[in-house]
């Protein structure tokens, strides 16, 4: 496994004639890898000849009062996980090289980036779209793999690659959960043991809504009431949003169907967690 820090070096490998017909599959991450990332890497391994993992805590997708400085990092462990998943190249650029003095270009995706996390984290998806575009230009992947836990991020990236005719296939992979239901996230590392228990209210509320929907309840008002009831039972929970949206365009809906997305963002103590489900899909 090769570790590359320089943009020019990574790009030179990606565009070298020696690449030939070899397909590059790419998993962009911010590091502190867990089993969710490992599932993306294993999928990437199957889909390409060369598997590239990037680790870059992207400063421009964090708001002023967010956790950029405290975002968990463990490069040594990340490299061990990468190696075990068959990664060929770990690309770890510096912020100084990614955003040199004078950097002033950004990518904005409009409507689909506005609700949900776009509303509570203004500018977040501009930062994501910009860094993913840069990474695609550097790594030149044929296929890129993203997790569906960041459902809106995946929708934004699909829209962007379509709108801008980027020749990259985007693959979304299912949420990976701990045995008790908590969606895996690097930010789970912030939770105290008591908060870790409290965090289960997100998956519990998803489970309850899915049960009701499976039993024939289609009224979003009723489903919402139940979701709220479950979360509000948890004293540590502070709701950012709970929303039911069309799973493709992210429009608001009042009657649920199989493609309806339930998306939640809830603070447990100081830690903001997100989770989601599409009601008609396997959980």
Residue 81 touches ligand PAF, criterion: CB under 6 A: no
Q: How far lies 76's CA from each of 5, 44, 70, 85, in Å?
A: 15, 21, 17, 15
Q: How far is the CB of 30 from ligand PAF (least distance, A)?
A: 4
Residue 58 touches ligand PAF, criterion: CB under 6 A: yes
The 3-state DSSP class for residue 252 equals strand
Q: How far is the CB of 29 from ligand PAF (least distance, A)?
A: 5
Residue 61 touches ligand PAF, criterion: CB under 6 A: yes
Residue 131 touches ligand PAF, criterion: CB under 6 A: yes
Q: Which of 75, 89, 102 is nearest to 22 (CA)?
A: 89
State how far the Cα of 4 lies from the Cα of 9, in Å rounded to an integer: 7
Q: How far is the CB of 192 from ligand PAF (least distance, A)?
A: 23
- Which region, judged by CB under 6 A, interacts with ligand PAF, from 128-136, 162-170, 232-240, 275-283? 128-136
Residue 13 touches ligand PAF, criterion: CB under 6 A: no
HSE-CB at 143 with a 13 A cutoff on CA atoms is 18
- Residue 146, Cβ density class (10 Å: 0-12 exposed, 13-18 middle, ≥19 buried): buried
* DSSP summary character for residue 122: T
How many residues touch ligand PAF under the rule CB under 6 A: the total is 10
Q: What is the side-by-side order of every strand in the sheet holding 89-91?
A: 2-4, 89-91, 50-55, 24-29, 143-147, 169-173
Q: How far is the CB of 216 from ligand PAF (least distance, A)?
A: 35
Contact status, residue 116 vs residue 243, Cβ threshold 8 Å: yes
Told to judge if 9 belongs to the known catalytic residues of this protein, a careful annotator would answer: no
Annotate each residue in 145-164 with x if it binds ligand PAF (CB under 6 A) or - if it does not, as one string.
Answer: -----x--x-----------
Residue 128 touches ligand PAF, criterion: CB under 6 A: yes
Annotate each residue in 22-41 with x if it binds ligand PAF (CB under 6 A) or - if it does not, as one string.
Answer: ------xxx-----------
Q: How far is the CB of 62 from ligand PAF (least distance, A)?
A: 10
DSSP lists the bridge partners of residue 170 as: 144
Residue 170 touches ligand PAF, criterion: CB under 6 A: no
State how far the Cα of 161 lies from the Cα of 171, in Å rounded to an integer: 12
Residue 271 touches ligand PAF, criterion: CB under 6 A: no
Per annotation, catalytic residue among 9, 34, 37, 251: 37
The 3-state DSSP class for residue 55 equals strand
Positions marked active-site: 37
Interacting residues toward ligand PAF by CB under 6 A: 28-30, 58, 61, 128, 131-132, 150, 153
């Amino acid at each position: 496994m090769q570790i590359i820090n320089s943009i020019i070096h990574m790009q030179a490998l990606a565009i070298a004639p020696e690449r030939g017909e070899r397909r590059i599959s790419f998993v962009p991450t911010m590091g502190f890898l867990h089993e969710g990332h490992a599932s993306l890497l294993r999928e990437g391994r199957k889909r390409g000849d060369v598997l590239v993992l990037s680790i870059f805590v992207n400063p421009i997708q964090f708001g002023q009062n967010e956790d950029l400085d405290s975002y968990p990092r463990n490069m040594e462990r990340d490299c061990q996980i990468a190696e075990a998943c068959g990664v060929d190249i770990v690309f770890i650029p510096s912020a100084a090289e990614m955003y040199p003095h004078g950097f002033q270009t950004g990518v904005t995706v409009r409507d689909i980036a506005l609700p949900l996390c776009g509303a509570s984290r203004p500018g977040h998806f501009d930062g994501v779209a910009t860094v993913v575009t840069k990474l695609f230009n550097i790594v030149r992947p044929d296929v890129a793999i993203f997790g569906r836990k960041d459902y809106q991020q995946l929708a934004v990236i699909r829209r962007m690659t379509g709108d801008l005719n980027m020749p990259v296939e985007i693959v979304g992979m299912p949420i990976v959960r701990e045995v008790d239901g908590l969606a895996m996230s690097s930010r789970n590392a912030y939770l105290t043991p008591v908060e870790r228990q409290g965090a289960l209210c997100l998956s519990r509320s998803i489970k309850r809504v899915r049960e009701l929907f499976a039993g024939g309840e289609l009224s979003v008002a009723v489903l919402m009431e139940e979701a709220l009831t479950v979360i509000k039972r948890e004293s540590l929970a502070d709701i950012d949003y709970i929303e039911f949206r069309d799973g493709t365009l992210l429009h608001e809906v009042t009657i649920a169907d199989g493609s309806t997305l339930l998306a939640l963002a809830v603070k447990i103590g100081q830690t903001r967690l997100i989770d989601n489900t599409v009601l008609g899909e396997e959980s």
